[in-house]
Structure 1
Amino acid sequence: MKNSQVRCALFFVFMLFAFTPGGGAQAPSSQAPQVPDWAQPGSSTHQQVAPPADFHRPTVTLDKPVGIFENQSDIGGPLAPGEASFDPVTKQYTIRSAGYNIWYQRDEFRFLWKKMTGDVSLAADASFPNKQGYDDRKVVLVIRQSLDDDAKEAVTGEHGTGMTHLAWRADKGAQMKDMSYRFGGSLTGVLPKRIGIEKHGDQVALFISLTGEPMHQFGPPMTLHFDGPFYVGIGFCSHLPATVDTGVASNVLLENAAGKVR
């Protein structure tokens, strides 16, 4: 075989290898989502940190009402899409979502929402069907100025350990803060029966029922102004950037008035 024929044959073999399934130059048809190091969950060998200041992903909103909520969104575009359903018999909202966190200066979670103005009372029983999920996963009750990943918001969340607190982002893009107290969780072995959030003017407060007793305010309110309309609803975050888990919110109460949490 002449040299030119050999070169042509070798080139053909290279092209066949490079651009057919299994070839070295062809990317796999379905790659695992690339998770930034800062978004990896905390562990004995890793500490989750705040995202880069300019990091954002667009929220994905579906035209899909569910139960009493007019729509739902994947806030911050989690790497794995979420889903939600409502069972009118059990009165349960089942929310499946990935998402690295609802914290720092941006969030990732599935959010079921309704646009509202004025005062708000919102309450639900929170639970986690998967007993092996990440401890910091959380079912949340949210009042949010917009659907942007870095929106101003107030959040009452119950974590997988039962730890419950009131947190807020004072302005768009600001770092999240919470009250100096946190309740429940592994330190006490208590998983609250029911959690609630109330907006009365610019005052936002956490409500709680430990074992089924009437709900009562826990700690002082914080002050945060929302321009109407704003978004009110429930959500879930697995606290795992690319792994979907499940949270359940049952017996959800939502009223356009203060003093109705029960």
Structure 2
Amino acid sequence: MSIATRVGLIALAALTAPVSAQEHADVPGSSLQNSPPGAPIAPEWAYPQSTTHTQVGPPPGFHRESRVETIPIGVFEAQADVGAAVAPGAASFANGTYTIRSAGYNVWYTRDEFRFLFRKMSGDVSMAADIAYPSGGFGDHKALLVIRQSLADDAKEAFVALHGDGMIHLAQRPEPGKRISDMEYRIGSRGGLPGGKSPDSLVTLHAKRIGIEKKGDQFTLWVSEQGEPMHQYGAPITLHVTAPFYVGIGFASHLPGVAETATLSNLVLENRAGRVR
């Protein structure tokens, strides 16, 4: 083996050797400023947008098989780490509150990573919950109410979400592997999201209860901003999912290797439309 070949192999080994999150974060221009020491390393594309990093979608064909736990929790039959984030998630249920701890780079683009508590259903669905982030965390993390065709990371789905910064949205993936599209509402957003910072006077309108209704192939977003009766927000989307499909609640930290916490309480889940409340 030539000296040049040996030098090349040594350089390649240095580039591919495992490093800790802290070592990576110490590199100038690294996108891991949100990762604590010891956090698992994810692909560079998976880290959130920052002043030093441009977030992009997964490479074509990138998938991870979801980790499924057939352990009932509350009204749900089982739970899963959809997309198998590099840091495993967990969930518990007590006194009417679901506590979900999850990492996951996003629920967006062409595939998802999030903790999902689910049951199989068919027909119409009404679902709603109060959402809170008791430990704060990354502003763009999101709790979700989800109706999806399968547990694959790129499944067809419709969902509503409440972001840590206050944005709510109704989103869909129209076919497996397609990019998410959505309708976004920045109620009380504190900034850092596309569209700019909302006026400070709107911060008190940060919604805490959201809902989703499936009526046939029509999906609608429901919101209570300040404890008033829930009301439909915006126009519906049209999406066909084949029964049985998966219905449940979830959470993604928006940080691929860092688990954060959301709570969902006062859950309504009924197998008919017109019952979001």
Task: Pick the TM interval, shorter chain.
Answer: 0.7 to 0.9
Root-mean-square deviation (Å): 1.6
Q: Deviations over 1:66-89 (max 9, x none)?
A: 0000000000001011000111x2
SS across alignment from 1:220: strand
Amino acid across the alignment from 1:126: I
SS across alignment from 1:155: strand
Tell me if the contact between 2:124 and 2:273 (Cα under 8 Å) persists in the aligned partners.
yes
Aligned to 1:178: 182
Of residues 120, 124, 133, the one that matches 1:119 is 124
Aligned to 2:145: 141
SS across alignment from 1:182: strand
Structural mapping, 1:155-170, within 5 Å = 155-170=159-174
Aligned pair 1:57/2:64, yes or no?
yes
SS across alignment from 1:38: helix
Shift of 1:32: 5.5
SS across alignment from 2:235: coil
Amino acid across the alignment from 1:117: S
Aligned pair 1:98/2:98, yes or no?
no
Aligned pair 1:205/2:220, yes or no?
yes
Shift of 1:109: 0.4
4+ residue runs of structure 1 moved beyond 3 angstroms? none
TM-score between the two structures when normalised by the length of structure 2: 0.81
Structural mapping, 1:66-105, within 5 Å = 66-87=73-94, 89=95, 91-105=96-110
SS across alignment from 1:81: coil
Shift of 1:46: 1.2
SS across alignment from 1:219: strand
1 CA distance for matches of 2:146 and 2:42?
A: 26
Aligned to 1:12: none
Shift of 1:213: 0.5
Shift of 1:193: 2.8
Aligned to 2:158: 154
Aligned to 1:18: none
Aligned to 1:230: 245
Of residues 243, 249, 254, the one that matches 1:239 is 254
Structural mapping, 1:215-226, within 5 Å = 215-226=230-241
Amino acid across the alignment from 2:168: T
Unaligned runs of 5+ in 1: 1-25
2 CA distance for matches of 1:80 and 1:193?
A: 27
2 CA distance for matches of 1:139 and 1:79?
A: 19
Shift of 1:120: 0.2
Shift of 1:130: 1.2
Shift of 1:33: 2.9
Relative to structure 1, the CA distance from residue 163 to residue 27 in structure 2 (aligned partners, 3 Å threshold; closer, same or farther) is: closer
Amino acid across the alignment from 2:111: R
Of residues 246, 254, 263, the one that matches 1:248 is 263
Q: Deviations over 1:95-122 (max 9, x none)?
A: 0000000000000000000100000000
Of residues 23, 36, 40, the one that matches 2:43 is 36
Aligned to 1:6: none
Tell me if the contact between 2:39 and 2:258 (Cα under 8 Å) persists in the aligned partners.
no
Relative to structure 1, the CA distance from residue 242 to residue 174 in structure 2 (aligned partners, 3 Å threshold; closer, same or farther) is: same
TM-score between the two structures when normalised by the length of structure 1: 0.85
Question: Larger Rg: 1 or 2?
Answer: 1
Higher mean displacement: 121-130 or 187-196: 187-196
1 CA distance for matches of 2:146 and 2:233?
A: 17
